[in-house]
Amino acid sequence: MKKYLIRRILILIPILIGVSMIIFALIEAMPGDPYSDMIDPTVPPDLIEERLEAMGYFDPLPVRYVRWLGRTLRFDFGYSTNYGAPVSVIMLNRLPNTLILGGFALLFSTIVAIPLGIISSTRQYSVVDYIVTVFAFIGLSIPAFFFGLLMIRYLAFELGWFPIAGTGAGAGYEGVRMLLHRAHHLVLPVVVLSLLSLASLMRYTRSSMLEVIKQDYIRTARSKGIKEKVIIYRHALKNALIPVVTVLTMMLPSLVSGAVLTETVFSWPGMGTLMIDAIDNDDYPLLMGITMMLAIIIVFANLLADILYAWIDPRIKYD
């Protein structure tokens, strides 16, 4: 296992280099230059060209790639042309908001989805199963922005139970009061963001459990006189979790990338909205920073999935 881990981490290096090349090439292919949005059109083109020349814009592609990579390794993603601040600072400003929102959404959907999936699988075709299934299909088919707007319209606007938008960070409260205030702002975005992952996670748990419950070793457990609860929550669940772990780890990158739609609907200043801004404004350095960070997270989420498999399933050996 240790050997496998080391090998697996070493493989990450060429993967990340490859990814960085692709990102660099894609952004390179986008039209416009960093100044096309920044500078007054009356500035003479000669001057712009001179400035671009000075910052190495016309250097050959490999030279620019190596220069960018060298800086990136030092966590220097350059200077955002739109925000006028270092990319790393902007990202670090936005990341906590996204992590809070995404983290709670993931936690909430896992805590709700897995038990619901188990219940609906152990009582297949019962009333509970049908209710849960119908909600899951609603969750899978309703677009997040629409559901978000419904929530805002009824729960926030008409009933006034929750704030309409924002993170609640600027209220100037302190201590417990601040925590409560922010938690209050978090409820609706978390519910909206959880909806889709909750529904799909629940369906995965259900079908995986149904598959496992049919297995011979569950019958063996019954013939041993094991309590039904132990059979379901230990013998069956541990086997059923293997595919569920895949789905869970695949949700991790979106935790960091942010949810563009949910963040937009709730004016939540996270990574999702930041990325849209970067694209809109030809903010290459920022866009490259975000994309690169995403790539790293995805690669590590895969690694995490592999580690979790080996931990849950002793049959998986990586030597």
Partner 1 sequence: MEDITLKAQGIKTSFQTSEGKVVAVNDVDITIREGKILGVVGESGCGKTVTALSIMRLVPEPNGKIEEGRIEFMGKNLLELSSEEMRKLRGAEISMIFQEPMTALNPVFSIGYQMKEMLKLHRGMTDEQATERAIELIDMVGIPRAEKVIKEYPHQLSGGMRQRVMIAMALSCDPKFMIADEPTTALDVTIQAQVLELMKDLNEKMGTAIMFITHDLGVIAEMADDVVVMYAGKVVEESNAISLFHEPKHPYTMGLLRSRPDMLEEGEELQSIKGMVPSLLRMPEGCPFNPRCEHRMDICVKEMPQLIEVKPGHKTRCWLYDDKGGK
Strand partners, 86: 79
- Using CB under 8 A, which of 76, 129, 211, 313 touches partner 1? 313
When the beta carbons of 95 and 312 are compared against partner 1, the nearer one is 312
- Using CB under 8 A, which of 42, 225, 229, 319 touches partner 1? 225
Place of tokens 């969750």: 139
Residue 50: exposure state from Cβ atoms within 10 A (0-12, 13-18, ≥19): exposed
When the beta carbons of 123 and 184 are compared against partner 1, the nearer one is 123
- Report if residue 31 touches partner 1, rule: CB under 8 A: no
Candidate segments 57-65, 159-167, 234-242, 295-303, binder of partner 1 by CB under 8 A: 234-242
Tell which positions 71-130 bind partner 1, by CB under 8 A.
Answer: none
When the beta carbons of 37 and 228 are compared against partner 1, the nearer one is 228
- Report if residue 177 touches partner 1, rule: CB under 8 A: no
Q: Report the alpha-carbon distance of residue 30 to residue 109 in Å, rounded.
A: 37
Place of tokens 């748990």: 205
Q: Report the alpha-carbon distance of residue 145 to residue 128 in Å, rounded.
A: 28
Cα 16 to its chain centre, rounded Å, is 19
**Contact (Cβ atoms closer than 8 angstroms) between residue 190 and residue 104:** yes
Question: Taking the CB of residue 31, how many other CB atoms lie within 10 A of it?
Answer: 6
Place of tokens 């799909």: 200
- Report if residue 216 touches partner 1, rule: CB under 8 A: yes
Q: How far is the CB of 225 from partner 1 (least distance, A)?
A: 3
Q: What is the CA radius of gyration of the chain?
A: 24
- Report if residue 262 touches partner 1, rule: CB under 8 A: no
- Report if residue 305 touches partner 1, rule: CB under 8 A: no
Candidate segments 54-62, 144-152, 185-193, 216-224, binder of partner 1 by CB under 8 A: 216-224
Tell me phi and psi for residue 86, to 5 degrees: -60, 140
When the beta carbons of 304 and 312 are compared against partner 1, the nearer one is 312
- Report if residue 319 touches partner 1, rule: CB under 8 A: no
- Report if residue 235 touches partner 1, rule: CB under 8 A: yes
Q: Report the alpha-carbon distance of residue 219 to residue 271 in Å, rounded.
A: 48
Q: How far is the CB of 303 from partner 1 (least distance, A)?
A: 21
* Site residue total, partner 1 (CB under 8 A): 20
When the beta carbons of 190 and 221 are compared against partner 1, the nearer one is 221
**Contact (Cβ atoms closer than 8 angstroms) between residue 169 and residue 267:** no
Chain contacts with partner 1 (rule: CB under 8 A): 215-217, 219-228, 235, 238-239, 312-315
